[in-house]
Structure 1
């Protein structure tokens, strides 16, 4: 009996069984539209409103100390309780703001073997002590995604046995996130356990160049496709390139908000598999090193770049927001470009012909620049904006910087008709007509004077 039908017909029995077997206490609220249940841990047991959470797909437990439930770890869970667990629909569990003894965590993790849980998250938790994980030897859990955010725990050093007992499961884990958790390194042996991991986010930790070398040793994370190292203590672009070269399936690399040295010439070649490269908010004022040859998405926003002159033939998305650019990058360097972000720069005009030569361009963000709203400048921007859905930030982010009488005016409100903007178009033809009229008069007069007297009737 699956899908919660047993629970619907036997709610009292289910609550009684779960109440004696699982340390779930406190007040619960259920968001029916999101199938999300949140329970706050209280000092006094109160399971009366837990029943409403039985249909939940997401279960969240927050606030408290689970040390008093540590005895649960040594209890044998009866088969009827395991049968009940199999009927629950929950696929994700979130632990937040909790003190969790690791021995209790080990017991709870073992129970997921009998459930449908694919995602487990820990937010602002402290894991206490160490636990023996031998009971999970040879178990393959259904959990494919594991997330730790702002979590404190014992060091990973000298815990090879724990990872050995967990290896059957960790070998199948797909996604791992460990952020703001003071991670300084990942042992090489641990990296080798994650044989099928596709996604690894270790952002906002304390990783450094030298400490990362063992973390990404040969054989570690062989199937990794996404690696996020945002906001660590990395300092050498060349070292990152050398250290990650063996990740032959890496597609997405995020090095943003690290104090990497300015990217200059280097003998290191990035792996051809890289398609998405994030170098935003790094204080870069120039980039001369060849980037991954097949890169399709490049984010160098929020730097100090004055120009970007790199030939990237496969690039589809280029994010240059919040730099110090004075001009639009050359179209010939990016023949496949589809998305271009130039907002928040020092650009005074948008060259219509140059941008229209980007034949695949579908989205252009170019607001918050210093636009010169002379007739030609305003008309070019207005002509670009007339193309449906090309400029998603139009018109509110496009204001004039000059001339002074248009400063602060929305570009769309600047008069830009042909007659108003190109007075020469009117003046020149008038002058030409006047000149021609004068010439015609002179010619007629000359002919008149040259006629014989008898033709004039004299």
Structure 2
């Protein structure tokens, strides 16, 4: 077998070995093989590693193999590829000529690969993808993390050649890759894409408008835009309105600042919304009307006065709330996170009115442990499995003699916590006794008439 043909097998093969051999190691329990780039004379040793499900190739420059792109591969190599069990290939820390990548991709057609991942790779130059016309690969998940390549501008022809495969792709991740926008024409190619993660890039409100043009990503259900340069919640609503099947939207760690009133209406399909760490100090409508999971943690909210009848999970951790939001606004709530706020008490009756509540996190607040406050918290904590962060995260802030004390250690019996229950009746009895004594004394001290007074 010629060296370039052998390279294809090694590049695309999971290799089986029970110990480290050369620059390859095999994890038998996970059926995972990891290899660093080797010189051609050492490649033959890699054939000892066979039948892995995951194959990783890391570290090196593939430019010296660029000439392979023009070599015709024997049928025997294709037959070997069809017998391999590898389902996932990871390329990491590599310089990859795009012409080589284009040549390798066509061999995946003969394999069982369902996931490709490129991590910390640099793609060099451009390549022609005409040989991929109408070729449908088994790969359904494609991931890029911290990669650099030529601009996507004016590459419509490349994506046209790849459209047969890309139209079937289900999951696409492009993170930490300095993406500034996705051309409209490219978005339209992904006709069946369900999951898109473009987090930690340089997307902005205006540059995203062409990315989500009419007809782009028509089947998209999950969109993650975490940690970009987005600033307007209203613009996001308008721009994403055409995504009729969107279920999960992540806008966390963007500087949205505030959500002003707007006439824009979110698609009713949206069920999960993440607005955590966006700098919000208040929230008004609109929010997705059917939202079931809302994460607004790590913001500057002082209150949340919104009625969300279908909400099941509400995350309000690390805000500036002074009180628990009204339970009547969230009748379906199952999970409530209130830890890391400025709350002084947990209203037992209010929280127990949430009939579906299964999980309450409310530690690291400023609890007032006088009178009924401590007993309310202790009573809630007695509900089995309701408060998973109890008791270690619940400490008293006031009164001063309980500051720093765990709430569970505060005496909270009826007589101890409500001394008025004892003091007031005793005081009343004392006052009544005094009044009775005064009346009796007054009667005894009243002067009696003289015996002869009637005759006068």
TM-score by length of 2: 0.90
Q: Deviations over 1:276-298 (max 9, x none)?
A: 11111111111112201111111
Contact 2:291 2:311 in 1 (8 A): yes
Q: Secondary structure at the match of 1:318?
A: strand
Count the aligned residue pairs.
Answer: 436
For the pair 1:72 / 2:42, whether they are aligned, the reply is: no
Contact 2:264 2:286 in 1 (8 A): no
Q: Secondary structure at the match of 2:173?
A: strand
For the pair 1:228 / 2:235, whether they are aligned, the reply is: no
Mark the runs of 5 or more structure 2 residues left unpaired by the alignment.
14-21, 445-456
Between stretches 43-52 and 28-37, larger displacement belongs to 43-52
User: 2:295 matched to which residue of 1?
Assistant: 299
Deviation, 1:400, is 1.3
User: 2:342 matched to which residue of 1?
Assistant: 346
**Counterpart-to-counterpart distance in 2, 1:335 and 1:392:** 21
327, 332, 337: which is aligned to 2:328? Answer: 332
For the pair 1:33 / 2:20, whether they are aligned, the reply is: no
For the pair 1:375 / 2:371, whether they are aligned, the reply is: yes
Q: Deviations over 1:348-380 (max 9, x none)?
A: 111111110111111111111111111311111
Contact 1:30 1:52 in 2 (8 A): no
Change (3 A) 1:145 1:405: same
For the pair 1:260 / 2:256, whether they are aligned, the reply is: yes
**Counterpart-to-counterpart distance in 2, 1:45 and 1:336:** 66
Contact 1:343 1:366 in 2 (8 A): yes
Mark the runs of 5 or more structure 1 residues left unpaired by the alignment.
1-12, 449-458
Deviation, 1:225, is 0.5
For the pair 1:19 / 2:15, whether they are aligned, the reply is: no
For the pair 1:287 / 2:315, whether they are aligned, the reply is: no
Change (3 A) 1:69 1:16: closer
Q: Deviations over 1:374-429 (max 9, x none)?
A: 13111111111111111111111111111112212221122222222122333445
Deviation, 1:28, is 1.0
Between stretches 324-333 and 44-53, larger displacement belongs to 44-53
Q: Secondary structure at the match of 1:426?
A: helix
Change (3 A) 1:21 1:202: closer
Contact 1:27 1:47 in 2 (8 A): no
For the pair 1:401 / 2:397, whether they are aligned, the reply is: yes
Q: Secondary structure at the match of 2:57?
A: strand
382, 385, 405: which is aligned to 1:386? Answer: 382
Contact 1:352 1:381 in 2 (8 A): yes
Contact 1:136 1:166 in 2 (8 A): yes
Q: Matches of residues 54-453 of structure 1 in structure 2 within 5 Å?
A: 54-430=50-426
Contact 1:253 1:277 in 2 (8 A): yes
Deviation, 1:42, is 3.5
**Counterpart-to-counterpart distance in 2, 1:130 and 1:267:** 45
Deviation, 1:436, is 7.7
**Counterpart-to-counterpart distance in 2, 1:374 and 1:20:** 74
**Counterpart-to-counterpart distance in 2, 1:84 and 1:286:** 61
Deviation, 1:441, is 9.2
Change (3 A) 1:257 1:265: same
Contact 1:326 1:348 in 2 (8 A): yes
Q: Secondary structure at the match of 1:266?
A: coil
Change (3 A) 1:417 1:397: same
Deviation, 1:46, is 2.9
Deviation, 1:16, is 9.3
